[in-house]
Amino acid sequence: MKTIKRHSVAPSKFLMMACILSFGQRVNGRKHFSNLQKSLSIHYSSPRQSVAFQSVASISQSKRCGGTTDFRNFSIRTISKSSELSSNNEGYIYNGADWRTNPSLNETYYVPSVILPSKHVHSMMQNKGGENKIAPFLASHMKEFENLHPRIKLVRDLESTGSDSDGNRKAILLDNRICMQTNSKRLVESEPDPGSEICLSAAFPGMSIEAVHELASKSATPGPIFPIAVKYTQQPLQHILSKLLPEEAQPPPTGFEQIGHVVHLNLKAHHVPYKELIGSVILDLLSPKIETVVNKVGEVCGPFRTYDMEVLAGKPDTTVKLNEDGVHLEFDLRNVYWCTRLSGERSRLLSEINKGEIIADAFCGVGAFCLLAASKLGCTVYANDLNPAAVLSCRESAKKNLKRSAGSVTVNCGDAFDFIQNLGSLSRLPDHVIMNFPLDSASFLGVLRWWPVLDDMKDVNFHLYTFARGDDPTGDCSEDLDDKFPPRDASEVAIDLVADGLLPEGGAIEASRNRRSLLDRLGCKVKTTEVRDVAPGKVVICVSFRVTKALLKVMQGDFIDF
């Protein structure tokens, strides 16, 4: 267990003074204000780092309409240097159990307000067409309140003073930056009406003249200071982790994959020593929707493209239930390959398919795309996968999802090479063949030479996924690049991989690069789509092309028409 010490800071003096100010404690004279500023600057230090709480007070003098009582509004902003009690401070023990006791997690901010008649509140909160001059000064623009969930309430009720008007007036929270400094030129010695432009300008020196004018036109007056408590449960996950993790584990993890009730992490090496802490925080913030947090161990490998995982927090249950665009899936993450980020690609590919067509999926996995095509478009789908666990999940999901559908899914468990070869013997060739095995899908294309070439044969649309990297002119293979073969981008490399799988170089096929034109001469109509990044410079490309009679003839050695 790694132990890091931290001072526990409880600035009670600061909070007490803030409360006094928020109730309008009268302070007279420049000397008193100077002393007040000094008393509101509290410094804490440790051998490793200094943390300073600074408070900025902005004073406005005014007089209540028809009365003799002076009041003063103070805006107090808590600033915590060095990431607010940075995790480098000493005195705090980090583990997966007691992190909730970290004193820096829950924050309190003191923000100013303006009081308005209730009838004007709605118009003050709207900003259609950018005409509202007050909108830029609302507290919602404070960076401390960004990405909070739930968001803070900008409109607040006022404490009752027994006046009949209390129920007809509301307070609107403002950005505390408008009270960070006092503009002496805008203060006056007299005590004007608190709803006047002079009073409002003095109370909110950072506010634009146009905004002050709009407030004055709606009978607004400076309001009290509101303490806004922000619980850790409202704050973004990354913000919480940045406070808890020590310097050597910064920056915190930036993303994860959610699969049903499971969060799947792929932690970097410097995060691994704190994996239980990270898992515990994620489970706390995302429960009850999330029940299990796992971390990938090792690399995707083996014939089934699966990987080992360890449970960091929650129950050790990795059997998930998903709903993708109305299709219900259930499978065990430990036994099959699944990528939530491919959901958008499945939708894109589905848009290229017509109702009632025949689809063949050579690497179907748990069958997400197959079930979408069958249930939404009434397609006849022939599916295949080498993984028995994936095939079982696909079959069970087909039973549940296709009870009232015109489509059908027939699932085979076997080698994709045999599956693709057998497609050629169907009475009707598929309209589309899906080959989503980026690691080595192009190597299966050679099996097409066993397809019979019939006079009435129709073209078949293939959609093949492959990893690809663009050529690096400065790399080890740069000597192979010359004027004849300029550097290729990732899409051109992917097309060449497909061309090599269909028409290996040698014999009548000349050695070449940039072979799109060769395929297009055979009617293949090649096009590419970049699907996603998997590593720096490495992407997944979907190469779509047509398998034509001319292509099959050349693959079978008939070069008469080539």
How many domains is the chain partitioned into structurally?
A: 3
Same-domain pairing of 42 and 157: yes
Average pLDDT value for residue range 15-19? 38
Q: Among 243, 253, 323, which Cα is nearest to 295's?
A: 253
For the ranges 32-41, 158-167, 464-473, 537-546, the lowest mean pLDDT is seen at: 32-41
Q: Among 156, 183, 189, 209, which Cα is nearest to 58's?
A: 183
How many Å apart are CA 242 and CA 235, to the nearest integer? 11
Q: Among 408, 406, 401, 402, which Cα is nearest to 383's?
A: 408
Per DSSP (E only), the strands in 9-146 are 42-45, 50-54, 61-63, 70-72, 79-80, 91-93, 107-111, 113-117
Last residue of a domain, one of 265, 294, 317: 317
Same-domain pairing of 263 and 175: no
How many Å apart are CA 152 and CA 348, to the nearest integer? 38
For the ranges 101-110, 363-372, 400-409, 478-487, the lowest mean pLDDT is seen at: 478-487
User: How far does Cα 142 stand from its chain's mean position?
Assistant: 21
**Contacts (Cβ under 8 Å, ≥6 apart) of 192:** 62, 63, 198, 199
pLDDT tens digits along 92-131 = 445 556 899 888 899 999 999 999 999 988 888 876 656 7
- Residue at 244 is within a domain: no
Q: Is the pLDDT of residue 74 over 50?
A: no
Please give the C-alpha separations between residue 442 and each of 186, 216, 417, 464, in angstroms, as whole numbers: 74, 72, 11, 7
How many Å apart are CA 122 and CA 130, to the nearest integer? 15
Average pLDDT value for residue range 188-212? 75
Q: Which residues pair with 173 in a beta bridge?
A: 113
pLDDT at 384 (0 to 100): 98
Preceding peptide of 288 cis, ω within 30°: yes
pLDDT at 15 (0 to 100): 37
Indicate the pLDDT class of residue 535, thresholds 50, 70 and 90. confident
By residue range, what is the domain housing residue 7?
A: 3-232
**pTM of the shown model:** 0.73
Q: Among 246, 265, 264, 310, which Cα is nearest to 1's?
A: 246
Same-domain pairing of 130 and 14: yes
- Residue 55 CB neighbours (<10 A): 22
416 known member of a binding site: yes
User: How far does Cα 61 stand from its chain's mean position?
Assistant: 46
Q: Which amino acid is at 139?
A: A
pLDDT at 383 (0 to 100): 98
Same-domain pairing of 393 and 306: no
Query: Is 353 in contact with 432 (CB distance < 8 Å)?
Result: yes
Q: Which amino acid is at 341?
A: R
- Residue at 238 is within a domain: no
- 250-289: burial string, b at 16+ Cβ within 10 Å, e else: eebbeebeebbbbbbbebeeebebbbbbbbbbbbbbbeee
Average pLDDT value for residue range 65-83? 34
Preceding peptide of 150 cis, ω within 30°: yes
pLDDT at 45 (0 to 100): 31
166 known member of a binding site: no
How many Å apart are CA 30 and CA 386, to the nearest integer? 82
Residue 296's CATH number: 3.30.300.110
415 known member of a binding site: yes
Same-domain pairing of 276 and 402: no
- Residue at 464 is within a domain: yes
Phi/psi class of residue 507: alpha, beta or left (left: φ > 0; alpha: ψ in -120 to 50)?
left
Same-domain pairing of 478 and 504: yes
346 known member of a binding site: yes
Radius of gyration of the chain from its Cα atoms, rounded to whole angstroms? 33
Indicate the pLDDT class of residue 486, thresholds 50, 70 and 90. confident
Q: Among 340, 260, 272, which Cα is nearest to 312's?
A: 272
- Residue at 334 is within a domain: yes
3-state secondary structure 341-353: HHHHHHHHHHCCC
Indicate the pLDDT class of residue 18, thresholds 50, 70 and 90. very low
User: How far does Cα 269 stand from its chain's mean position?
Assistant: 22
Residue % of the chain over a pLDDT of 90: 53
- Residue at 505 is within a domain: yes
Same-domain pairing of 137 and 213: yes
SS3 of 115, please?
Answer: strand
Indicate the pLDDT class of residue 31, thresholds 50, 70 and 90. very low
Query: Is 441 in contact with 466 (CB distance < 8 Å)?
Result: yes
pLDDT at 95 (0 to 100): 53
SS3 of 399, please?
Answer: helix
Q: Is the pLDDT of residue 342 over 60?
A: yes
pLDDT at 526 (0 to 100): 97
pLDDT tens digits along 279-329 = 999 999 999 999 999 999 988 777 888 889 999 999 999 999 999 999 999
Residue 420's CATH number: 3.40.50.150
Torsions phi, psi for 107 (to 5 deg): -120, 150
Q: Which residues pair with 228 in a beta bridge?
A: 109
Last residue of a domain, one of 278, 295, 317: 317
pLDDT at 53 (0 to 100): 32
Same-domain pairing of 272 and 381: no
Average pLDDT value for residue range 236-260? 93
Q: Which residues pair with 490 in a beta bridge?
A: none
- Residue at 390 is within a domain: yes
Same-domain pairing of 259 and 221: no
pLDDT at 168 (0 to 100): 86
532 known member of a binding site: no
Average pLDDT value for residue range 51-64? 34
Q: Among 55, 71, 52, 73, which Cα is nearest to 63's?
A: 71
Indicate the pLDDT class of residue 194, thresholds 50, 70 and 90. low
Same-domain pairing of 360 and 449: yes
- Residue at 245 is within a domain: no
pLDDT at 97 (0 to 100): 66
Query: Is 429 in contact with 452 (CB distance < 8 Å)?
Result: no
Stretch (H or E) spanning 202 = helix 197-203
Average pLDDT value for residue range 22-43? 34
- Residue at 239 is within a domain: no
How many Å apart are CA 404 and CA 394, to the nearest integer? 17
- 298-308: burial string, b at 16+ Cβ within 10 Å, e else: eeeeeebbbbe
Same-domain pairing of 138 and 8: yes
Q: Is the pLDDT of residue 14 over 60?
A: no
How many Å apart are CA 408 and CA 381, to the nearest integer? 6
SS3 of 383, please?
Answer: strand
Same-domain pairing of 313 and 325: no
pLDDT at 98 (0 to 100): 84
Last residue of a domain, one of 301, 317, 333: 317
pLDDT tens digits along 376-412 = 999 999 999 999 999 999 999 999 999 888 899 999 9
pLDDT at 76 (0 to 100): 37
